[in-house]
Amino acid sequence: MAGIKALVALSFSGAIGLTFLLLGCGLEEYGVYWPLFVLIFYVLSPIPTFISRRLSDDSDATSNACRELAYFFTTGIVVSAFGLPIIMARTELIQWGACGLVMAGNSVIFFTILGFFLVFGRGDDFSWEQW
């Protein structure tokens, strides 16, 4: 039952994050949809971790080169997702209010992705590896 509650909480927080992103795009005073390009980063961010968990042979080791490389790539993707709206706002492609809403949405979505890995990545009977 705890897994279902966690799944509902993660779904709710993901919906809140996407709401912030869509508000940054769709409000009448902002009116441009360029910030939706951060959706690409939302899709790309868990991929290195999925690959490293699939390829790593020892999960009990304190340091694993494959896992460390995956953390490096994931960090680059997350930093790029936060940098893209700032660059768009500085070049006046979007307004700073839209940039703030997109940054808030980024924070919520990336904490949701982190929560997904913390809740479902333990390897017990209710894990994402089954899916």
**Domain tally for the chain?**
1
Tens of pLDDT, residues 43-98: 999 999 889 888 876 656 667 888 899 999 999 999 999 999 999 999 999 999 99
> What's the length of the chain?
131
Name the residue range of residue 72's domain.
2-130
pTM above 0.95, yes or no: no
CB 111 within 8 A of CB 13: yes
CA atoms lying within 13 Å on the CB side of residue 128: 16
Tens of pLDDT, residues 4-13: 888 899 999 9
Residues 83-121 as b/e (b if ≥16 CB within 10 A, e otherwise) read ebbeebbeeeebbeebbebbbbbbebbbebbeebeebbe
pLDDT confidence of residue 4: 85
CB 46 within 8 A of CB 78: no
